[in-house]
Amino acid sequence: MWWSLISALALISVVRCQGVRETCLSGDEEPYLLFGTKTAYTFSHKGIPVMRSHEVPGCQPIAIWLLNRHGSHNPEADEISEMQRLSDFKANILANYRNGNFRNSNQRMCPSDVNLLERWEWNPRQNMTFAGDLTTDGYISTQQLAQAWRSKFPGLLTDNKYDYLFKYVNDQRSSTTFRAFTEGLFRDQAEGMDVPKESDEKLLRPYKFCPAWTRDVEENNETLTQLRTFSSKQEYKEMITNISLRLGFNYDINYETVLSMYEMCRYNKAWDNIQISPWCAVFTKEDLMRLEYAEDLETYYKYGYGTPMNQKLGCTAVKDMMDFFKIHLDHETPQQPKATIHFTEAEMILFTLTALGGYRDSAPITGDNFHTQTARDRKWGTSIMAPFNANIAAVLYKCIPNNNLKIREPYQVLFLTNERPLYIDGCNVGLCDWSLVKTRLGLVADNCELNFCNGAGKVNGFVGVLVAIIAFCFRLLY
């Protein structure tokens, strides 16, 4: 008996000495839920007072302009095959676990995380037929958002269809979003209500009609320079090693697999906000913050301030907004439509915020400064700016000027993003004098021509050098 007790104690100490420490990431009480462009709206905006009418003292709202991103959707056509491979990958992880490949690792996945993973199955409905379609959750969150706007601005979002103009794009996601939104606004009357609507892809996705942007930004390697810098850092490689060890691999799994797991994790949390995703349990909070920063770097240079051309593309939305407000200025009686409501994509939300001058950092974010205070305090953050159901609103108010309330002019515009004030220089918590809006955004709207989109590329570097050399030689000769 003594002998068996002693051997039991010995065994415990051996296990101790090997330092087996299991990581149970699914049990985290405060999981990190900011997943860039695939963040659920509720995670992005904890604590918004949703159902409350929005009041600006001394002012009456007379018009609202609203730009919305769709809710959560199925994996896109180009994501499906890579993500589907997670089924095989899951089998490999389980095999690792059974074969005891974890023995030498001090950071293996804990049994309950493995059990969760074991129960996970790829949903066969996630196939090409339904690729990219709005999900049930995306439908409901869109209805809820419409209801929230209606309770904030009951005088503008009425039951009269002539108070509205909807603009969308002719595809499943956009038209389903339109249906969900109008159901949220009009409830059971929505069906028979033929609200004014038009399809306008040039306005809502100008980047699809801009070969110069596609060539010089979207498909240009240089756009991702900062992202490459970040992902070539030692700590990024170490992150991949750590994730591999956690899953029982004694070699580094490839980066595409890490990204697929990340996609699955964030889709899971967007489709079902409550259920724990086994794929999220693969990542620590620090891993998730790095992956989030990587997407911020990508979007900053593709759609934001990182590349000058990006600031021009969002002008189509700004011009639409300015044209809409002009209908309402200087009229004694209310004009129709009172609400212009658009449905678009994350890219356009980011382009528009950039054209409006929101979320602007004083210095560019880079692949080198992740650990600095500047990066931690950065304004540019995709999870906050462009989650699912992201939205930008501009509300025109007619006011009685009152110096105490800092209302200096009879017309004011309130800018909101995701139902919170959008901070713009020269404005007061999102509330701007019309004169400022007119000067600053009027300039953006008046100069909104996308002729540059069809222009030739930058002067070819080689030709440029050649010209310089020839010019130099001429100087020497004469």
In the complex, the residues that contact ligand NAG under the rule CB under 6 A are 107, 124-125, 127-129, 221, 235, 238-239, 242, 286
In terms of CB distance, is 298 or 320 closer to ligand NAG? 298
In terms of CB distance, is 2 or 462 closer to ligand NAG? 462
In terms of CB distance, is 77 or 309 closer to ligand NAG? 77
Q: Phi/psi of residue 262, each to 5°?
A: -65, -45
In terms of CB distance, is 55 or 235 closer to ligand NAG? 235
- What does the DSSP 8-state code read for residue 344? E
- DSSP labels for 189-258? GTTT----EEE-HHHH-GGGG-HHHIIIIIT-GGGGHHHHHHHTSHHHHHHHHHHHHHTT-SSPPPHHHH
Distance CA 389, CA 140 (A): 11
In terms of CB distance, is 286 or 449 closer to ligand NAG? 286
Q: At 135, which amino acid appears? A: T
Q: Which two tokens stand for residue 249?
A: 């691999």
Instruction: Output the smallest distance, CB 241 to ligand NAG, in A.
Output: 7
Distance CA 125, CA 122 (A): 9
Instruction: Output the smallest distance, CB 135 to ligand NAG, in A.
Output: 14
In terms of CB distance, is 44 or 242 closer to ligand NAG? 242
Instruction: Output the smallest distance, CB 460 to ligand NAG, in A.
Output: 14
Q: Is 120 helix (H, G, I), strand (E, B) or coil?
A: coil
Instruction: Output the smallest distance, CB 307 to ligand NAG, in A.
Output: 16
Closest CA to 168 of 346, 352, 343, 351: 343
Q: Is 338 helix (H, G, I), strand (E, B) or coil?
A: coil
C-beta of residue 415 within 8 angstroms of C-beta of residue 392: yes
Instruction: Output the smallest distance, CB 56 to ligand NAG, in A.
Output: 47
Instruction: Output the smallest distance, CB 239 to ligand NAG, in A.
Output: 4
